[in-house]
Structure 1
Amino acid sequence: MAIDNKSTPTDDLVIDTIQLLAGKTKADPNPDELEQLKRLIKKNVPFSLRGYFMAYLLREVLQANTPKRAGSNAKPAPKAKREAPTKKEEPKEEKENQQPRKKTPRPLPEGARTLYLNIGKMKRLYTKELSQILQTELGIERDDIYSIRIHDKYSFISMSEENCEKAIEKLNGKDIRGRTASVSYSNKE
């Protein structure tokens, strides 16, 4: 009974594909469509089978993409798969070396205040979208927003005190990404 548990180049390809799909999921331009598909999966696939269901879908994606990458039969595929991990390992090492460098937050100008917003990444709110909402609702320019920090469940926005007052007036109670916005001055500044 020989079970092959070795890490093969196909494992690296699978991991790369999973990471690629996870990245595409986060950046998908139609989150409402994904939410609808998620509900359909929850409704039609028993909880105990969802992991296998995802594995099956991944296998189908890999098989659909294999002829494009590998050519004809399985012999050319291992060569391409062996080359891919070595090319992809170098950027990972570079990223690891770059991770300790964090952006130093630029100091806020005199009279700037920080606002707390009760909506974050879990509601698929991202910096670009929040910046656009602030610009259209408050009638300000991008340069008037000093910083935006979006966390999982909440966000912080730094602007001049005048713009902060406008934001509190206009954004409180507004529906943003399916959630009623609550905007106030941040306790942490």
Structure 2
Amino acid sequence: MATRELPSQDNELIIAKIEELLQQIQYQEDPAEMDTLRRLYKKHVPIFRRSYFSALLIRELARTQGVRFSSPSGKPAKASRSDARRAAKAEAEQRKAEVKRLAKQASSRSASRNDEPSTTPGDGEDPNTIFISIGKNRRVFPRDLIGLFSSVDGVDPEKIGDIRILDNYSFVTVDPSIAPGLITALHNSDYRGRKLTVNFARKKG
């Protein structure tokens, strides 16, 4: 089967995106969600077609970055590589800004970990989201945080929503009615060998 070489600029875009996704898997994605998707992949994609299926996914992803592949006739479609590079750069800058924002928030929370927590959200704080200073580096998974929160008297697991786990800290969406009790019970408590900082998360933006 004949192969078609891509221009070096397109190769660089695809490689950069693959590396970005690998970093995202390692540091940002929810392992439980990844396991669910992996099981679907293994169940519905025959083992001898998985490499081509993965290649097809890469092709579709590359197209969103502005890469244009040859048509069946062999005539290459026109590509706007400058637009693709600008889009990729803008996306990278956005991710970089988000990482800085989260790191700044974590630093601010850590500096005040020994202070008495506020059980009333202040200006710029989200009454629906709890910040907790533990994450992937302590091998924490969503089920662990659900168990920790559910151990607090009066907390119904059904009132616990989305959970986002990062390297050193996590964000948990909860019903506002249980947020003050969680903060009071868990702030400065010991969990897996460290003191926890638990408070309202800051709103995005």
Name the TM-score, length of structure 1 as normaliser. 0.43
The structure with the greater share of residues assigned to helix is 1
Larger Rg: 1
Name the TM-score, length of structure 2 as normaliser. 0.40
